[in-house]
Amino acid sequence: MRTLAEIIEGQTPLTLGIAATVARACRSMRDRGVGAVMVVGKDGRLEGIFTGRDAVCRVLADGKLAETTRLADVMTRDPMTARPATSAIEVLRLMRDSGFRHVPVVEEGRILGIVSRGDFCGVEIDRLDEEVGVWEKL
Going from the C-alpha of 26 to that of each of 38, 58, 105, the distances in angstroms are: 12, 13, 21
- The pLDDT, as a whole number, for residue 5 is 94
- The pLDDT, as a whole number, for residue 118 is 81
The parent domain of residue 61 ranges over: 4-137
CA–CA dist 50, 133 (Å, integer):
32
Number of domains in the chain: 1
Q: Which of 85, 10, 83, 15 is nearest to 50 (CA)?
A: 15
Query: Which of 5-9, 95-99, 128-132 shows the lowest per-residue confidence on average (mean pLDDT)?
Result: 128-132
- The pLDDT, as a whole number, for residue 65 is 98
CATH number at residue 35: 3.10.580.10
